Structure 1
């Protein structure tokens, strides 16, 4: 069982525990012998209303926020992520949580990035809310995941076409991101590095090209139309890491083969 370093067993609550990242987080933490509290509406806890948070955080030393809201709406995203962050902070303070680990998107707080993407604006608002709160917060910023290319295939369809923007990124496997976040969550309380922990993939890739490769691997007849967006944050390099970062190990082709 993981401990805080003072003989106390580590108990970690994972918000969004049934989501794409959260479920992987739960698996990685339990493999390390950690006592994990799964927090989601499925478990009767609503971070947006705050219902059930105090009970879920009872005895917890670290809370990991993997919450997700699938929306392109700036208004909905900002409201959701601001409200949930405030509720999590309040419950964490009431229950004596030592630290929050918030999973965010690489460069989401940059106005040049989130002006184009409503969801990213929500994540930027989440970061601002947590940074202004009374509980220490570690931010883990991840580049886009390979799984996003799968999502983009189905988001905008025009007849036999899937329209995908030519996003330049250093994408990585969601499982690599989850393992990295789990390690940050288990750092000794008070010993976490200042600033963001950043993880990105091993190569600069175009997500439209990855979507095309996924489509071909599936043997689908649908065509993928790459839409150039060179004058936006999606295509001008604004989604790439700008300083030091950890390089995720899994290459796209290996991820693709493993999933087929």
Structure 2
């Protein structure tokens, strides 16, 4: 089948395009780099011609609250309208575990708005909620750094490899629309502060990790299970140890 991957030149998108193509599908990467702009609608009609499935793994270039909301509302609105016109039969979007538990987080609020547009579109759809990627470990630590120390809340944390996310999204994309959501997480669960203490040490990063119950995650206060999935989540196969060793 023809699957258009919006954001197909990014971290997850490029992995997904490669996987789908390896499984015999016609996987098309759609992004500004390939002449497709979901914010303006440029190139959408052409790239969606003959597509059975659209997978949206795109991301906002800015995480500022107003900017990220505008990105997801405009991009998703344009994409859904173009899909309806092209007769696309399945819309898949990648989101984040815990969006509904942290609505005060600007990025999560924008993802909630995106999901509502999809749910109300009338198109068959699937939402894949993923936990934090191994690839974002240093970035999360940088955001949490205060006066040279990494302040992390001692809550549950279950990060996942980007390759496992791409595999899960690929399975959903080529299956029957869920008209609901599924969750993907890593095979191992940690205390968040302990994970970052071990991960940064493995990276040769000398910053001290401080377990801080008041520490915020990109501006949001966390509870014990804010960032982890439910018991029925699909679990990846790649451990952090194996992923880090392969880098």
Contact 1:149 1:210 in 2 (8 A): no
Which of residues 162, 165, 180 in structure 2 aligns to 1:195? 180
Please, which runs of 5 or more residues in structure 1 have no aligned partner?
A: 1-9
From 159, 167, 184, the equivalent of 1:171 is 159
User: Post-superposition shift, 1:46?
Assistant: 1.0
Partner Cα distance (2:114, 2:178) in 1: 20
Note if 1:241 corresponds to 2:219. no
Q: Which digits, 9 at most, give the CA deviation of each residue in 1:204-260, with x for residues without a partner?
A: 22344333323212223333344334896634212222352211112222222222x
Note if contact 2:90-2:177 (Cα within 8 Å) is conserved in structure 1.
no
Equivalent residue runs for 1:1-260 within 5 Å = 10-108=1-99, 110=100, 112-115=101-104, 117-158=105-146, 160-166=148-154, 168-187=156-175, 191-229=176-214, 234-259=222-247
Q: Deviations over 1:44-91 (max 9, x none)?
A: 211112111111111111000001125442222221111111000011
* Distance in structure 1 (CA, Å) of the matches to 2:221 and 2:157: 10
Q: TM (normalized to structure 2)? A: 0.89
- Structure 2: which 5+ residue stretches go unaligned? none
Aligned residues: 244
Cα RMSD for the two superposed structures: 2.2
User: Cα–Cα, structure 1 residues 165 and 46, in superposed 2: closer, same or farther, change >3 Å?
Assistant: farther
TM-score by length of 1: 0.85
The 2-side partners of 1:239 and 1:48 are apart by 29
Q: Report the 3-state secondary structure (helix = DSSP H, G, I; strand = E; otherwise coil) of the residue aligned with 2:102.
A: helix
Question: Which residue of 2 is the match for residue 7 of structure 1?
Answer: none
SS class of match (1:21): helix
Deviation at 1:166, TM superposition (A): 4.4
